């Protein structure tokens, strides 16, 4: 969204593409994109950029779709204290406000103005005693460890911790699956749904698999 602390309030402004996820029709016309007619702000160009699908984001460092359901997972890097993962079901019509800079994860960022009405809350967060910068991954749809089917994997860039997130009733739960010394800059997914992580420090790629 801009400089530290989002001084232009880009995350909450609907008149800028900064701090947003955009949804475009790239096949409508050669050489230019079109606005999908079911975008949440389509047809009202004066009130909002029609490309906007979701807003209130600070710095999504990897978002991905569940290949089986179409659900969207967004890992959003925090400002100074909290990292978060947001969830958007495939059935969503868009228009979610994920809170930045009113909130940093589920915590008020600006105490003078912390109106949380209408905000979408994260399904997972951690503070900077557990890391410094979140790296978003994928929902596992491979065959190597079927007990992890439907679990979403994410990691911290600084401390190398990898978590799995999974729903239980109305709540989301999390487990640490690996406490490593990797500098995890991104995840990967192959054609079979197996997951990989990159170690930025060593220039290496590793496949996630069950412990022997």
User: How many other C-beta atoms lie within 10 A of the C-beta of residue 35?
Assistant: 19
Selection from 19, 90, 74, 77 nearest residue 51 by Cα: 19
Residue 111 pLDDT: 67
Q: Per-residue pLDDT tens for 47-103?
A: 899 999 999 999 999 999 999 999 999 999 999 899 999 999 999 999 999 999 999
Residue 87 pLDDT: 98
Residue 82 pLDDT: 98
Instruction: Give the C-alpha separation, 180 to 28, whole Å.
Output: 45
Beta strands in the chain (DSSP E): 20-22, 25-29, 32-34, 52-55, 60-65, 72-76, 82-88, 103-104, 107-108, 124-127, 134-139, 152-156, 161-168, 171-179, 184-189, 195-199, 204-207
User: Tens place of pLDDT for every residue, the chain, 212 residues?
Assistant: 678 999 999 999 999 999 999 999 999 888 899 999 999 999 877 889 999 999 999 999 999 999 999 999 999 999 989 999 999 999 999 999 999 999 999 999 976 779 999 999 999 999 999 999 999 999 999 998 899 999 999 999 999 999 999 999 989 999 999 999 999 999 999 999 999 999 999 999 999 987 76
- ∠ CA 108-114-119, nearest 5°, is 85
Residue 11 and residue 58 in contact, taking contact as beta carbons nearer than 8 Å: yes
Residue 17 pLDDT: 95
Whole-prediction pTM = 0.94
Residue 28 pLDDT: 86
Residue 212 pLDDT: 65
């Amino acid at each position: 969204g801009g400089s530290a602390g989002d001084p232009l309030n880009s995350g909450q402004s609907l008149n800028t593409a900064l701090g947003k996820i955009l949804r475009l029709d790239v096949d409508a016309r050669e050489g230019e994109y079109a606005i999908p007619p079911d975008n949440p702000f389509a047809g009202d160009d004066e009130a909002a950029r029609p490309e906007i699908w979701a807003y209130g984001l600070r710095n999504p460092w990897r978002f991905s779709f569940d290949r089986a359901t179409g659900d969207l997972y967004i890992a959003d890097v925090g400002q100074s204290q909290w990292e978060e993962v947001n969830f958007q079901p495939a059935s969503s019509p868009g228009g979610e406000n994920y809170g930045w800079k009113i909130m940093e994860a589920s915590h008020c960022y600006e105490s003078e103005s912390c109106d949380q009405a209408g905000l979408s809350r994260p399904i997972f967060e951690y503070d900077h005693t557990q890391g410094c910068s979140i790296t978003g991954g994928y929902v596992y749809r491979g065959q190597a460890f079927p007990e992890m089917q439907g679990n979403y994997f994410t990691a911290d860039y600084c401390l190398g911790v990898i978590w799995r997130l999974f729903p239980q009733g109305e709540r989301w739960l999390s487990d640490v699956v690996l406490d490593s010394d990797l500098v995890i800059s991104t995840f990967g997914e192959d054609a079979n749904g197996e997951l990989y992580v990159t170690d930025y420090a060593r220039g290496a790629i590793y496949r996630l698999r069950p412990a022997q």
